A and B are shown apart, each in its own frame.
Chain A
């Protein structure tokens, strides 16, 4: 290795650069637009009934035509929009949780936050007789928050604080305990059971315009907070001490960013049920291609999440045909192996 001292080197002119935009950003953007379009189309076309091109066009642009196929397409529109919104929310939620815990395998489902939201919603149905999406949402967010605090609390006990491994263990244990509670509440109540059997797996099939309008404010607040905190989260990625030295109030930042992450996944869980691994998948994929800058990871995770969830939903419809397989089942099938792969590859190294 050439030995560099300040005397012996030649001073070079500026031939370095700061990466303002990640190397593959253009390709990724183009690819996302294409994929987004493709999965929206697929979501409108595929399902129990395959629609033809004419029916698709009729359903989308000619509201006066009332053929069966056109109606099917029209009914699939809100479902598709809903799945895009939920995917975006889960993607960003995952990216935020990874940044806040500085843990590459954080995700609402792995940390048990989804299950906490489920428990609260199920309890609400069983004991408080709630039934509207607006009520579900608040309960789910409350449940998600309490669980998040609880899991982080347990995970950070002991000597070296909240290590990735401890957080995942705390999340898994909490999740297991809470889901048995969910079962305990549901099983003896047949009416709740019916209402919740499908919700519990996680599905965007119930998406309609009213669910979307209930969901939208939470999505927007969550996304705005996430994007605004991205550059401070970049500082946090260098460690708490460096971040503090750069003028970041790490406690407040963590609180705000975690709050946004919890709102996003809580609201999604309320309306679509606990869908796992979207955050893990999308944030990872984006970090892999775009690098470590959270100002890009966060918004692009929204896009990736929307695409992944919609593809999962469509694949579920195709695999389960003539019925359908819920998106939550599909994402778990893709996500679980990825989690194992990641854990092995980085030996739970922190990001």
Chain B
């Protein structure tokens, strides 16, 4: 089981150039759980994730890991605790699945040291978890979107971090693949205790898979907690300006948001 970490964002303000998106946000990530950030477009959910994953430098405030500011931790050392899968990584032309997955070992390797047994095991394990062992020798260009996404997650997994950030890991995928990816991430969390922090667009999938939800509106955190406590028609109204009814999902027993519209009231 992965060790517990205290990961906090303290009074974070962040944004792009002159445009501030997050205002004084305080977040503490519950360890060894699946955390999902939800909110409308441009509410700052991706910005929050990127700031916590140190892709964006906050204008003010501090991100801390076990009480230490992450900016003070050597970057390679931090990369062994904190992993990240961004929304659109770049595929080098002509790389094989196993090679790409192996690239995730970078923070564990030094210049002259070759591949160790540990490195191989990490790659094998990650490919096993994401069920891509059969694809290992194939070229990435030959894969479908869902398979590609599993390869990327496997690459993030070989980094063997305790905390994993994912920016909309299911975007552009068919519903089948969305479920498949989220099931695998759940496996990962239940089996290894990896703390998962992700942004999801689909609120019903968020409600189904999250242990803990962070709801963002216009750069402010307006609700947090377990899905069944947090996901009310009131909150969805506040977040998206949408009229809806929240019922119980007959399959997962989590909240299910049923939107209303002008034709369906």
Residues of A within 8 A of B (CB): 1, 4-6, 9, 11-12, 14-20, 102, 228, 231-232, 234-235, 237-239, 241-242, 244-249, 287, 291-293, 350-351
Contact = CB atoms under 8 A, between A and B. Distances in A.
B86 A245 contact: yes
B89 interface: yes
Nearest to B147: A4
Q: Which 8 A-B pairs have the closest CB atoms?
A: A247-B79, A16-B136, A245-B84, A241-B86, A247-B76, A292-B92, A239-B90, A247-B75
B137 interface: yes
Contacts of A16: 97-98, 127, 133, 136-137
14 contacts: A9-B134, A16-B136, A18-B115, A18-B120, A231-B109, A235-B103, A238-B89, A238-B92, A238-B103, A245-B84, A247-B107, A248-B75, A249-B75, A287-B93
B124 interface: yes
Given A4-B131, A12-B134, A228-B111, A246 B104 contact: yes
A351 B131 contact: no
A351 B95 CA distance: 11
B66 interface: no
Q: Is the interface of A mostly helix, strand, loop or mixed?
A: loop
Given A11-B133, A247-B106, A248-B75, A241 B89 contact: yes
Interface string B143-187: 010000000000010010000010000000000000010011001
Interface of B: 50, 53-55, 74-80, 82-86, 88-99, 102-104, 106-107, 109, 111, 114-115, 120, 123-124, 127-128, 131, 133-134, 136-137, 144, 156, 159, 165, 180, 183-184, 187
B106 A19 contact: no
Given A1-B144, A9-B134, A16-B127, A244 B54 contact: yes
A231 B106 contact: yes
A234 B91 CA distance: 11
A16 B128 CA distance: 12
A17 B115 contact: no
A102 B86 CA distance: 17
B96 A239 contact: no
B77 to A, nearest CB: 7
B111 A231 contact: yes
A231 B107 CA distance: 11
B151 to A, nearest CB: 12
